[in-house]
Structure 1
């Protein structure tokens, strides 16, 4: 793996993961494609002075991204990863999960576990509350991409919007894993970590990982009704895995 010193390094490595996934027809590329979009938006925000502290935001982005990138390469080399990422990565081995489930389970691991860890780490030596303004601005960047993601998914499955609109069970399922809930939990976790004694940090992270992994199971196994609906969506998804990755990059 290439060294990571800048946000451009992050974008380049994500492109490597995307290219490999397209070549291997691997669903792991779905989340990588979405994540690269987010990272490019953060880079634009730093360049345009959107954040209170641009250098700190780039450092946060690098720490945050490295957790995903390290987990990805560890998994591909059959090394141990967090339970949250293991659940996400193992989903790529199965046929039936739809693109949306792959994205949600990746977001679950990265936002609910990794974001809090990165926020606490970048805040070492200063009150974590100093980061809150920029942390909230990251949330607005993520939120701005929600419509993009919906449009990308509509290319893959044209009737997805109608199904989500008229099917309460799936709609509730998506609300339960909304990005707002995930982000709020990430900040609370970051504050908890920041206030923890050094010798307790690993224990706090492990406990959080177990909890986030349980949420991952709900995403991959949402219940009989949702599974039936997702099965119909899966059979109707347009294009190969490689094509769907490319659609998510547009």
Structure 2
């Protein structure tokens, strides 16, 4: 990894930081009502982060410090949004639909989960790559393997939660409005766009005004997609 004069946290320190964000998510899981939209996403994200932790412990990452640093910076973005909402401050635009509609009776659990994934992947992950590069003194290209491995975990989990949270038999799902609504969003496309955004933000780091405008527009665009994902739907099959 280049720029070795930069501070790189040792593995124990990085692991302690990961333990800290895991503890926060577990506290949220225990505190939030099960049907709360933020709780639905939190359970999904907690499962991903626990799997990252297990894979780090098993030596599955080539560079565990880079993997943990990226994961922690990523999680901190979500937890900062949670804290902002709890203090009646405005979270980033990408997260506002989920916090605003978290108790809406017409929004289904799968919508909550994917809206949170949309916000976290589409906006937070790009900024987390930049945060991690600054912490580690590296370039985005040095984190591409870790980015892909975390993305692969999310992809596998997305398939699982679609199966678990999609209501009704397969034949009914074809006609369910939820099928059509969520079919318009793709995790793979979101990951590709996020990697491009991360590289662009890194290239713009010497132009803070331009980087801020780019970030604001990214935030707004991801927030718009999240609001569409949370369109209230009629109860199906009743």
TM over 0.5: yes
3-state SS of the aligned residue for 1:50?
A: coil
Bigger fraction of residues in helix: 1
- CA deviation map 1:106-130 (0-9, x unaligned): 1111110000100122123322111
Once the 2 structures are TM-superposed, how far is the Cα of residue 47 of structure 1 from its aligned partner?
Answer: 1.5
TM-score by length of 1: 0.80
Judging changes above 3 Å, is the alpha-carbon distance between structure 1 residues 47 and 161 closer, same or farther for their aligned structure 2 residues?
farther
- CA deviation map 1:12-57 (0-9, x unaligned): 110111111138x633210111110010111112122222211111
Distance 1:5 1:113 in 2: 25
Q: What are the residue-to-residue correspondences of 1:123-142 with 2, within 5 Å?
A: 123-124=133-134, 125-142=137-154
Match of 1:21 in 2: 32
2:16 corresponds to 1:11 = no
- Say which of 173, 176, 179 aligns to 2:184: 176
3-state SS of the aligned residue for 1:93?
A: coil
Once the 2 structures are TM-superposed, how far is the Cα of residue 174 of structure 1 from its aligned partner?
Answer: 2.3
Match of 1:65 in 2: 75
- Say which of 30, 37, 42 aligns to 2:47: 37
Once the 2 structures are TM-superposed, how far is the Cα of residue 176 of structure 1 from its aligned partner?
Answer: 2.2
CA contact (8 A) 2:94 2:219 kept: yes
Aligned length: 220
Which runs of 4 or more aligned residues in structure 1 lie more than 6 Å from their structure 2 counterparts after TM superposition? none
CA contact (8 A) 1:153 1:160 kept: no
2:198 corresponds to 1:190 = yes
Match of 1:244 in 2: none
Distance 1:65 1:198 in 2: 26
Distance 1:168 1:95 in 2: 17
CA contact (8 A) 2:37 2:98 kept: no
2:143 corresponds to 1:143 = no
CA contact (8 A) 2:37 2:113 kept: no
Once the 2 structures are TM-superposed, how far is the Cα of residue 7 of structure 1 from its aligned partner?
Answer: 1.3
CA contact (8 A) 2:41 2:112 kept: yes
CA contact (8 A) 1:75 1:89 kept: yes
CA contact (8 A) 2:122 2:222 kept: yes
Distance 1:160 1:60 in 2: 38
Distance 1:92 1:168 in 2: 21
TM-score by length of 2: 0.84
CA contact (8 A) 2:182 2:229 kept: no
Q: CA RMSD in A?
A: 2.2
Q: List runs of 5+ in structure 1 lacking aligned partners.
A: 222-226, 237-250
